[in-house]
Structure 1
Amino acid sequence: MLGNMMFQPLLISSMIEHAGRYHSDTLIISKNTDLSITETNWGKVRNNSKRFANVLNSLGAKLGDRIATIAWNNHRHLESWYAISGSGMVCHTINPRLFPEQLVFIINDANDKVILFDKTFLPLIKAVKPMLKSVEHFICLDAPDAAVKEQVPDVQFYDDLIAQHSEQFAWPEFDELTASSLCYTSGTTGNPKGVLYSHRSTVLHSYGICMPDSLNISARDIMLPVVPMFHVNAWGTPYAAAMVGCTMVLPGPGLDGVSLANMIDTYKVSVALGVPTIWQGLINAAQQSGTKLESLKRNVVGGSACPPAMMKVFKEQFDCETIHAWGMTETSPLGTSCQFKAKHQHLSDEEKLQIRLSQGRPPFGVDLRITDEEKSTHEIERDGKTSGNLQIKGHWIIQNYFGKAESALTADGWFDTGDIATLNEDGYLKISDRSKDLIKSGGEWISSVELENMAMGHPKIAMAAVIAAIHPKWDERPVLIAIKKPDADLSEIEILGYYADKVAKWQIPDKVIFVDSIPLSGTGKMLKKDLREQYGNVLLNS
């Protein structure tokens, strides 16, 4: 027997309709590529998304066609997202920081029909255009510009196109399992792999983000998604923002610390989201200018582990709670977020910090388990101490990669993340490392993340990476790659001594290498593969 309740498919178009109807005058503040500011609102975003949906129809785009975007976080990009997915097409966000060869592969693999791009990325478009097999239309998201037209003669301009079309558009209704958006993984070996989300998974993921025990997003918030929309859909926040109707502050290309501090103070941002390298720049800028970022109540950190020292600075200097979160492209990305339970409220500040350092616990909608090192289906104890392979399943978790018939799951239906972690009895996750970044020294495992976090606690270190270097006796030993803070006087002996009372002696790095920069991926993660290639034999030569 079925229930007697109304059925409506879970579609992305319903979220922008809700925002446009019930939060019409809520501001969307957008920094453009020329660094000017546009103030719009959810009502106008909804209307322009309908105009652009009519544009796509006029261009002959059809259900399931992939429409690519190479753009910053701005209002035109946001409007186009809802137009694409709401019309039943697939919004394919592309990371412009990838190598041109990877971009060509991704666009051809996705069989994109249209590419939308910001003027910033004109040289990239011009370079790869001759190698693209399926793209029929190029649309610049900036205002009409003769210089752009000169370099890409067949380009069309977003503002011109939407001005020619009506905001009257009836969102089509279709199966909620229809594909909605496509993101490709970064940092993998070989070519990137596509992850194809559905309308159903995206709407449910948005509910998951908004829950109080998750990222706790509401209509009262002023949200600054520093994480780019081309990085796992800005962690799903543009969808969640429409679902609850919160104010959005879109930073465009202004991702430096000074620009972010100014936007937070000017627009009274209450919650911001980004990777640790971004927050380090914000902290430095705020300390130099003297601002206390008074409106910022919480910041969400994902992408890589947040150093304890950074959490303390946000709390002690800016009265801002840091919410650790974990996820992957394959998980939409929300897997866990770190919020307290009632029983934790009586804990001391130091005890609370230890909980904050975990990646948190899963919201309803996903489940986690830890299996033994052989990656079998055997689940090991949830004691917060025994580590193993982290696996996940749920409503917004990948089943197979785009264009691949074979399953991406284990024999019993879980996705193996490639992370090594522990779970405690309450479900709090603590990631030790990526399996490929663990250091095996004399048969014992050393966590590179733990050593990096300790190094980041040193007042003279700006950034730190720990890699496994080949050792003639112990197989592998840790080596610390560090960037000193400006004008800091720091020696190898001092930093190795700093570790002495923090870890077992055999876990202390064998060597410290000071550098001016550490390579980062397009999503702000440290490229340890590149560091291992450069410094992996350093102990053999010493």
Structure 2
Amino acid sequence: MQGLMQHGALTLDKIIDHAAQWHGGREVVTRSVEGPIVRTTYAEIHGRAKRVSNLLLALGIKPGDRVGTLAWNTARHIETWYGIMGIGAVCHTLNPRLFPEQIAWIADHGGDRVIFTDLTFLPIIAGIIPRLPKVEHVVVFTDRDHMPKDFHLSGEAPHFKGLLCYEDLVAEQSADCVWGGFDEGTAAGLCYTSGTTGDPKGVMYSHRSNFLHTFITMQPDVMGLSQRDVILPVVPMFHANAWGVAFSAPATGAKIVMPGARMDGAAIHELLETEGVTFSAAVPTVWQMLLQHLESTGSKITTLKKVVIGGAACPESIIRAFHEKYGVEVVHAWGMTETSPVGTLSTMTDQLEKLSYDEQIPYRLKQGRPPMGVELKLTDDDGKPLPYDGKAFGHLKIRGPIIAAEYFRGAGGKILDEEGFFDTGDVATIDEMGFMQITDRAKDVVKSGGEWISTIEIENIAVGHPKAALAAVIGVAHPKWDERPILLVKLKEGETATKEEFLDFLQGKIAKWWMPDDVVFVDEIPLGATGKIDKKLIRQRMKDYVLPTIGSAATGSATLAAADGAQAAVLYAPEPVEAPEDVIEEGEAPQAEAPVEPVHEPEVVAAQAAIEPAAEPLSVEALAAALPDPEPVPVAHLEAAEPISPEDVFPHAPLVEPQAKPLAATPEEAFDAPPVFVAEEAPLAMPLSSAKPRKAKAAKTSSGDKASSGDKGGWAAPILTGAVAIALAPAVLVVVGALGAKTGLLDKALAYDFLTRDLAPLIAWFSLLTGLLGVVVAMIGGIRRHWRRALLALAITVATLGVFFLATGTSARAAPVGDVATDWKAPLGFSDNVLAQRGEAAAPVLDEPSLPVGSELFAGRRVAEVNAETCPAARTLVLTRSPADAYEAAKAAVQAKGLTLVTDDPGEGRLEAAGASFWYGLKDDLVVRVRPDAGGARVDVRSVARDEGGDLGRNCGRVTGVLKAIEG
């Protein structure tokens, strides 16, 4: 038994509908890419979004098509989001901070047909369009005055039709557009992971998942947003829907402030104060820039109450600075592209709220508790569950209606375990209160002596050093412990420091055996496209780094001579390390040992013999140039006449090029080498070089074909050539008819009725005679010379007749009638409106039609009986859903099939629609009826061609296709 409540599909258009109706005057403020601050409202965004929908429809976008956006956080971007999703298309956000090669691969893999972009990213567009054969249009988020006068692509792109001006196109469209009406499981958004291993993978969000995620974010223990808030989403919309804020802000009616391209500390502070921002969200690096700006200028924060920090572990120094200096609550959050992305948040429980702030800090540093709708579990390497005691490290897995079930196009294969949990790739602990703490990415964790060392925990402490701007920890090879951690530090501008300063700073804050074996000072620590430290790139640059040697006077370690008598290499021998007492008691950590004795295994001997003595440390001035800023350089204003140069589109080395020279062993020199994108697996499955020219094949001509006019049998060649031409004629007529009808050059009577249905089959039968004649001619003229042409003519004829026969001549195929229905006992009819559209010349719509005597196989039989043989899948569909839900599914299925709705009557459970074939434009009318049933709902469909005679199975395909789409 089902409940008796109203049903409404959870589609995202209802969010902006709600905002426009009940919060229509609430402001949306944008720092535009052109420079000025622009103000609009939810009501205006709603209307302009519908204009965008009509624009997309005019460009040929259909439900399910992917539309790319390469843009900053602006009101125009929001308009486009809802305009895309409202008509059932898929909004594919592209990350401009990726390499252009990656952006091109992602846009092509996603199947984008149109791309919307900001002026900032036109150089990227110029470089990638030649690699995107499906993209014909690029719409630029600007007005006519700021459109570039000179735009050149980096290569040939005959498919590309040029740039379009967003404001011009929006002004030309109507704001009258029907949204929604499709199933809530319909795809809404596509976002690709950053591709840390192998190709990036697409996460396809549904309307339902994003709607439920919006409800989750609005919970008080999550983001707790309300209409009274002023929200500044610094996290970009191309990072998993700006963490859902682009949906939750209009859902609550909160004022939203979009930062555009400028996200430096000064620009963020200006918006916070001038717009009265109460809530914001961003990655830690953004807040570090803001805090540094506040410290250097002595500025204050007056209205901000809460910030959500995610994307990377938040250092304690940031949390304390916000609370102690500015009275702002920091909520530490964790999530992924695959989790929509909210997974956990470190909101305090009532028990923790009673503690002092210092006592709360250990919990605020954790990633937090899962909200309602999210399930977590920890497992060991064998998949066995681990306890929630705050000590057991395990693989973090997650499950829920907002979590990805598979990747787009099946990338990565099966990604869920037997219980339906997704492996996040993170290593974590969960304590008794449910607080989860990420200790590392599974691929980044340092395993020393068989035990895990949390690089994130060391980084968070190290970055709290007053001289540190950024810190990163990676593991490097060690002959005894497998791996040992080293700390890389980027100092604040103007600061100098020593290794001992940082090691002393870590003393007492981490276990002794966690202590880094070296501290390396670097000019830059690279950040990935999502603002996280790019450890993959760091490991690649540090691949030739070796741990510092320790002299025998300090450790008593011996030297190891190379086998060929060359200069001896010193085997690294670390100082003995001690595990924490509680760990030692449990036998979980490496035991303290005496200094390492010489190792004589051949592998170690070979490895150590190849190590050169450590070079003298380089000065800061001698270091290589730092890594270029991974973020695109924002522009405040782009002059209309300024040309866009494509030469700078691909500033990075090609992904497939080898490194210019080996990285040096000196840590700083190795780290600051020119950037080379190297993935741990094959980085991109996209060819970056042009196709190789094909080798011409030598022409092979038989002696018979070379026969002169005087040769015996030379007369046969032109006859056989004519036979081949006649054999090809039916196919040519069909193609000419189809293309002529498609382009509008030929009307239906000539293209379909005469060329395709009448003349082509007639010539096909005639070509059978000419083909047989060709065999005779070949035998007379010389079978050895002419058998190829004779056989080709006969084969083409047989294949052509076979196609015609399969299409029209067997009981297993289409009957010579264009009327297919699932229910002939209570047959479906059409409304007067549809009958008027069909016209008086159309085939009649009868309750019990029968076939005429001249219909050969089916002469005189009722169409209902013929349907059972020729279209067995056309059967009444019974669903275990409510009639209202089934009606919504039927409506979505009809629209997804590209049919035009004529009647939409949910009260009567009746849908009527019209459609046309792709090539000839042959028109059909379809009616769907949804009725209550004992088990849920009963769905019947009928599709009738407007033309007399057979339809080659077209209406059978329409009916079965709609039924399958309804059934899901």
Q: TM-score normalized by structure 1?
A: 0.98
Question: Amino acid of the residue matched to residue 47 of structure 2?
Answer: N
Q: Which residue is 1:316 aligned to?
A: 324
Aligned to 2:451: 444
Matched, 1:510 2:528: no
For 2:213 and 2:389, the matched residues in 1 are separated by 28
8 Å Cα contact 1:187/1:521 also seen in 2? no
Deviations 1:11-55 (A, max 9, x none): 000000000111111110001112211011111111110111111
Q: 2:54 — aligned with what?
A: 54
Q: 2:426 pairs with 398, 419, 422, which one?
A: 419
Q: Is the 8 A contact 2:316 2:365 kept in 1?
A: yes
**1:354, CA displacement in angstroms?**
1.4
**Structure 2 residue 497 is matched with structure 1 residue 490:** yes
Aligned to 2:295: 287
Q: Is the 8 A contact 1:470 1:536 kept in 2?
A: no
Q: What aligned pairs does 1:288-437 form with structure 2 within 5 A after superposition?
A: 288-374=296-382, 376=383, 378-404=384-410, 406-437=413-444
Whole-Å Cα distance in 1 between the matches of residues 510 and 238 of structure 2? 38
Tell me how far apart the structure 1 counterparts of residues 149 and 117 of structure 2 sit (CA, whole Å): 13
SS at 1:437's partner residue? Answer: coil
Which amino acid is 1:440 matched to? Answer: K
* Residues 180-191 of structure 1 aligned to structure 2 (within 5 Å): 180-191=188-199
Tell me, yes or no, if structure 1 residue 174 matches structure 2 residue 186: no
SS at match of 1:436: coil
Q: Secondary structure at the match of 2:294?
A: helix
- Which letter maps to 1:11? T
Measured against aligned partners, the alpha-carbon deviations of 1:461-485 in whole angstroms (never above 9, x if no partner) come to 1110011111233211111111111
Tell me if structure 2 keeps the 8 A contact 1:479–1:512: yes
CA-based RMSD: 1.3
Between 233-242 and 486-495, report the one with greater CA deviation: 486-495
Q: Is the 8 A contact 2:484 2:517 kept in 1?
A: yes
Correspondent of 2:474 among 467, 470, 481 = 467
Whole-angstrom CA distance in 1 between matches of 2:136 and 2:26: 36
Within 2, Cα distance between the matches of 1:292 and 1:366?
37
Q: Is the 8 A contact 1:468 1:536 kept in 2?
A: no
Displacement after TM superposition at 1:538 (Å): 2.1
Deviates more, 1:390-399 or 1:159-168: 159-168
Specify the structure having the higher radius of gyration (Cα).
2
Partner of 1:15: 15
Q: CA–CA distance in 1 between the matches of 2:200 and 2:330?
A: 31
Amino acid at match of 2:373: G
Deviations along 1:244-276, one digit per CA (max 9) or x if unpaired, are 110111000011111101111111111110001
User: Equivalent residue for 2:258?
Assistant: 250
TM superposition shift of 1:108: 0.9
Structure 2: how far apart are the matches of 1:522 and 1:49? 28
CA offsets, 1:422-450, max 9 Å, x none?
A: 11233211111111111111222111001
Cα pair 1:274 1:301 within 8 Å, conserved: yes
The residue type equivalent to 1:103 in the other structure is I
Shift of 1:147: 5.3
Aligned residue for 2:210? 202
The 3-state SS of whatever aligns with 1:520 is: coil
1:330, 1:398 within 8 Å by CA — same for their partners in 2? yes
Measured in 1, the distance between the counterparts of 2:211 and 2:297 equals 40
Aligned residue number for residue 866 of structure 2? none
Of residues 225, 235, 255 in structure 1, which corresponds to 2:243? Answer: 235
Contact conserved, 2:196 with 2:536, CA < 8 A, in 1?
A: no
What is the CA–CA distance in structure 2 between the aligned matches of 1:474 and 1:537, rounded to whole Å?
A: 18
2:832 matched to which residue of 1?
A: none
Matched, 1:102 2:110: no
User: 2: CA distance between counterparts of 1:422 and 1:505?
Assistant: 20
**C-alpha contact 2:19 2:252 (8 A) present in aligned 1:** yes
State the alpha-carbon separation in 2 of the partners of residues 94 and 306 from structure 1.
26
Once the two structures are overlaid, the 10-residue window that deviates more, 503-512 or 385-394, is: 503-512
Does the CA-based 8 Å contact 1:232-1:332 persist in structure 2? yes
* Secondary structure class of the residue paired with 1:467: strand
Q: Does 1:45 align with 2:52?
A: no
Under a length normalisation based on structure 2, what TM-score does the superposition of the two structures give?
0.55
Matches of 2:221 and 2:354, distance apart in 1: 18
1:171-197 CA-to-partner distances (Å, cap 9, x unmatched) read 131100000000000042121000000
Q: How many residues align?
A: 540
Given that residues 122 and 148 in structure 1 are in contact (C-alpha distance below 8 angstroms), is that contact kept between their aligned partners in structure 2?
no
Cα distance in 2 for partners of 1:203, 1:458 equals 42
1:27 aligns with 2:33: no
Counterparts of 1:287 and 1:43 in 2: how far apart (Å)?
A: 39
Structure 1 distance, partners of 2:180, 2:308, is 35
* Structure 2: gaps spanning 5 or more residues: 153-160, 548-610, 615-968
Which secondary structure does the structure 2 equivalent of 1:380 belong to?
coil
Once residues 488 and 138 of structure 1 are traced to their aligned partners in structure 2, the CA distance between those partners, rounded to angstroms, is 46
Is the Cα–Cα contact under 8 Å of residues 94 and 230 in structure 1 kept in the other structure? yes
1:114 aligns with 2:120: no
- Higher deviation after alignment, 136-145 or 474-483: 136-145
Residue 540 of structure 2 is matched in structure 1 by: 533
Contact preservation (8 Å) 2:195, 2:201: no
Aligned AA for 1:468? G
Instruction: Render the CA deviation track for 1:191-215: whole Å, top value 9, x for unaligned.
Output: 1000000000000001101110101
Preserved CA contact (<8 Å) 1:177 1:198: yes
Judged with a 3 Å threshold, the aligned counterparts in structure 2 of structure 1 residues 533 and 440 are, in CA distance, closer, same or farther, namely same
Q: Aligned residue for 2:587?
A: none
C-alpha distance in 2, partners of 1:366/1:24? Answer: 32
Q: Which has the higher contact order (CA 8 A, sep 6+)?
A: 1
Distance 1:256 1:506, change over 3 A: same
After TM superposition, give the deviation of residue 523 of structure 1 in Å: 1.0
Aligned mates of 1:407, 1:442 — CA distance in 2: 32
Q: What is the distance in 2 between the residues matched to 1:205 and 1:239?
A: 9
- 2: distance between equivalents of 1:407 and 1:190? 16
SS in 2 for 1:431: strand
Moved over 3 A (4+): none
Quote the Cα distance in structure 2 between the aligned partners of 1:514 and 1:381: 39
**CA distance in structure 1 between the aligned counterparts of 2:300 and 2:363, rounded to whole angstroms:** 25
Cα distance change of structure 1 residues 490 and 332 upon mapping to structure 2, 3 Å threshold: same
% identity of equivalent residues: 45
State the distance in 2 between where 1:260 and 1:286 align. Answer: 11
Contact 2:147 2:165 in 1 (8 A): no
- Give the AA of the match of 2:542: Y
The separation in 1 between residues aligned to 2:274 and 2:232, in whole angstroms, is: 12
Match of 1:65 in 2: 65
